[in-house]
Structure 1
Amino acid sequence: MNTDKLSFLDENQSVASVVTKLHEYFKNSYSRCKVKRSQCLSQLEAATGEKEQAILQDLEKIDQEMALFGVLNDALSIADRVVHSKTMSSALGLDSEIYQIHHETEEEQRAEWNLAEYRISQQRQTQQ
């Protein structure tokens, strides 16, 4: 397995699991936007003047987010179905890199640990 291509994965992830998690993330993001939009519409009924304009601007931003999250949700839904289809797993085999769990090497783990320690020390210096 060529781990250079999979270095973006965390320990114990596969490409297939990342696709599923991304699909869930964008589906949930779209749902949260729908809830926020509904709340704004409820507020809009009683709003006037500047408050009404602010809510309308919020609605416009939410509509843009919903459009983007909707497209991403749809695209990842398709990818999720294809990656987990019997046809794909049969064609590629379950031993394909797409389905294999990524295991970090000790060197990768050490590099992640060093980076985490560096970030913590930077945060501490900023807080002082």
Structure 2
Amino acid sequence: MAGEDMDMMQILQEMRQTLRDIQTRLGGVEIRLGSLETGKDRLQSTVDKMAVRVAVIESTMATKLATKEDFAEARAYGESMLARIVEASEIARDAGRKILSGPAILKQVRGELDDHEIRLRHLEEKGRRGPAA
């Protein structure tokens, strides 16, 4: 009988530790999610700046094409800016994927936490009732 009580207490202690661990992980996930949101905002700002630069480049290219001066240089500059825009888009896409996966991770950890809390309550109730007759 005393051995069963010790086993039950050990299980309860392990469950409490597991809950603390999951709560810590949940906090870490929430911090990561906030960091990803900040990164997304910075990337959006970069993309917005790039859009302004593209407009300036388009205007510059039109002027250069109209005067037929340095056509090759304007084209190379435009292509390099286009490559930068593509790179910024890829970075934004990757950040978006990370941001979208953040809530799924958070939901999974919360589900685990709920499962452990239910099991802990069940074990505590079972411990209060004593061993089954």
TM-score by length of 2: 0.53
Aligned to 2:27: 17
Residue of structure 2 in register with 1:69 after alignment: 95
- Report which of the two has the higher share of helix: 2
Identify the residue that residue 113 of structure 2 maps to in structure 1: 89
C-alpha distance after superposition, 1:11-31 (max 9, x if no partner): xx9211111111112222122
Query: Take 1:23 and 1:55, find their aligned partners in 2: how far apart are those partners?
Result: 31
Task: Return the alpha-carbon distance in structure 1 between the equivalents of residues 77 and 42 of structure 2.
Answer: 22
Q: CA deviation at 1:65?
A: 0.8
Matched, 1:27 2:53: no
Following superposition, the deviation at residue 90 of structure 1 comes to 2.6
The whole-number CA distance in structure 1 between the counterparts of 2:114 and 2:55 is 55
Work out which of the residue numbers 26, 45, 62 in structure 1 matches 2:55: 45
**What CA distance in whole angstroms lies between the structure 2 residues aligned with 1:81 and 1:31?**
23
2:83 counterpart letter in structure 1: Q
Shift of 1:77: 1.6
Name the structure 1 match of 2:11.
none
Tell me which structure has the larger Cα radius of gyration. 2
Distance 2:52 2:36 in 1: 24
For structure 2, the residue ranges without an aligned partner over 5 or more in a row are 1-13, 15-22, 62-73, 121-133
Identity %: 7
- How far apart are the structure 2 equivalents of 1:39 and 1:58? 12
**Per-residue deviation, 1:93:** 2.1
Tell me what 1:118 maps to: none
Residue 110 of structure 1: aligned partner = none
How does the TM-score come out when normalised to structure 1? 0.54
SS at match of 2:56: coil
Amino acid at match of 1:93: E
